[in-house]
């Protein structure tokens, strides 16, 4: 195998592939990236047995072929090469070495046989549809903060991606929760997505998918089956196993009769919470919200560290209410608001609170209060 490729193109392809590779590996081949050159393209394939990413790039291929080489080492080399360099990759099967050449630099990297590289089995997908990148980006970006990190409740370690009945008809929906907070984001159902089975997309996959979604013009081809999900652009294909479990009935925990309404500037609210939380003890991070007519007082009382209080002007016209929250949860939820105002709907100090952006019901958040 022998090919020449521009450094920037190579770096982009290799960086996407190497981020999937697990740093701690018991199986040596999983630390490698499979390089396949044919025609006028080269593809880089990497896997951790749960996620597989294939990145195609244009190249000048002199000799077609394939080999595998350490993903992290190759990425580091390419990253350190000067801008605009033309990189030559050459593999002579006999010696088990890949030669990387650019300008006056030459590297010899150990290879492993391509036959040992595990390729994900092909799957029949139940639904195939196309979705604009900004739509997927919004669905996953706004919900991923609520993914649980508890290994015991493994079915909460991802985003539940499914088609559901919304207030105005069928919607494409992403839901994540860790038992303390919940995010539910809706979008219009793309053509062909109606038959899609609901799947739990793992946390790592959500992180890798994010890298495909930066281009606002891109259309992402999405394929979903009971066991796998695939996201593809013309250059990159990301295939992932889904979490084998049943996502809980989240609709039960979303309050519907919360009538106490507070409207506040989201950025001012987040900054104020951040300021008063400075003195709270790390573990509990509890912030008390005291609501009166058009007035919110945020306070923290940490016996060992001190106390803090800040007053904010808000739109509120109901009975006086005192309720406590974890500061980190409030900050994360407030930072999801794209418009200026966040609307909080309260019931009582012990009941879950709902938050949304203005009157927009396509993105709602639920947070559990805590005793303060």
Domain locations along the chain: 2-116, 127-252, 256-367
Give the CA distances from residue 25 to residues 22, 29, 48, 49, 167, in Å, rounded to whole numbers and listed in that order.
6, 9, 9, 11, 47
Q: What is the CATH architecture of 127-252?
A: Roll (3.10)
Closest C-alpha to 364, from 109, 203, 117, 167 = 167
**Tens digit of pLDDT for each residue in 17-56?**
899 998 888 899 999 999 999 999 999 999 999 999 999 9
Q: What is the pLDDT of residue 284?
A: 67
Q: What is the CATH architecture of 256-367?
A: Roll (3.10)
CB burial string 122-147: b at 16+ within 10 A, e below: ebebebebebbbbebbbbbbbbbbbb
**Tens digit of pLDDT for each residue in 164-214?**
998 889 999 999 999 999 999 999 999 999 989 999 999 999 999 999 999
What is the rounded distance in angstroms from the CA atom of residue 285 to the CA atom of residue 193?
41
**Tens digit of pLDDT for each residue in 320-355?**
999 999 999 999 998 898 887 999 999 999 999 999
**Spatial contact of 64 and 37, defined as CB atoms under 8 Å apart:** yes
* Arithmetic mean of pLDDT, 47-66: 95
- Only one residue has tokens 């080492």, namely 73
Using pLDDT thresholds of 50, 70 and 90, give the confidence band for residue 226: very high
pTM: 0.93
User: 2-116 and 127-252: same fold?
Assistant: yes
What is the Cα 48 distance to its own chain's centre?
17
CATH number, span 2-116: 3.10.150.10
What is the rounded distance in angstroms from the CA atom of residue 205 to the CA atom of residue 120?
15
What is the rounded distance in angstroms from the CA atom of residue 116 to the CA atom of residue 217?
38
**Tens digit of pLDDT for each residue in 67-87?**
999 999 999 999 999 999 999
Q: Helix, strand or coil for residue 213?
A: coil
């Amino acid at each position: 195998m022998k090919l020449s490729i521009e450094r920037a193109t190579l770096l982009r392809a290799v960086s996407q592939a190497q981020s999937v590779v697990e740093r701690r590996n018991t199986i040596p081949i999983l630390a490698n990236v499979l390089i396949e050159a044919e025609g006028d393209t080269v593809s880089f394939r990497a896997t951790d047995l749960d996620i597989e990413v294939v990145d195609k790039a244009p190249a000048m291929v002199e000799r077609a072929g394939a080999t595998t080489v350490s993903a992290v080492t190759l990425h580091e080399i390419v990253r350190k090469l000067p801008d605009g360099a033309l990189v030559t990759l050459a593999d002579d099967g006999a010696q088990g070495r890949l030669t990387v050449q650019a300008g006056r630099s030459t590297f010899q990297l150990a290879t492993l046989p391509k036959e040992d590289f595990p390729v994900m089995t092909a799957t029949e997908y139940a639904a195939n549809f196309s979705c604009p990148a900004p739509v997927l980006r919004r669905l996953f970006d706004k919900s991923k903060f609520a993914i649980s990190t508890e290994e015991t409740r493994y079915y909460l370690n991802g985003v539940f991606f499914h088609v559901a009945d919304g207030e105005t008809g069928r919607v494409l929906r992403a839901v994540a929760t860790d038992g303390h907070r919940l995010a539910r984001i809706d979008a219009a159902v793309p053509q062909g997505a109606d038959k899609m089975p609901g799947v739990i997309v793992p946390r790592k996959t959500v992180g890798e998918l994010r890298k495909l979604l930066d281009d606002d013009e891109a259309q992402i081809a999405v394929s979903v089956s009971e066991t796998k999900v695939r996201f593809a652009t013309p250059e990159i294909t990301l295939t992932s196993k889904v979490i084998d479990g049943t996502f809980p009935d989240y609709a039960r925990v979303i309050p519907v009769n919360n009538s106490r309404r507070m409207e506040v500037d989201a950025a001012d609210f987040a900054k104020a919470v951040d300021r008063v939380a400075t003195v709270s003890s790390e573990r509990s991070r509890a912030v008390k919200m005291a609501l009166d007519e058009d007035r919110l007082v945020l306070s923290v009382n940490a016996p060992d560290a001190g106390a803090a209080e800040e007053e904010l002007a808000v739109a509120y016209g109901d009975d006086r209410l005192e309720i406590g929250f974890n500061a980190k949860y409030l900050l994360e939820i407030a930072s999801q608001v794209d418009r200026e105002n966040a609307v909080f709907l309260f019931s009582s100090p012990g009941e879950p609170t709902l938050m949304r952006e203005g009157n927009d019901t396509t993105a709602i958040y639920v947070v559990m209060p805590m005793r303060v």
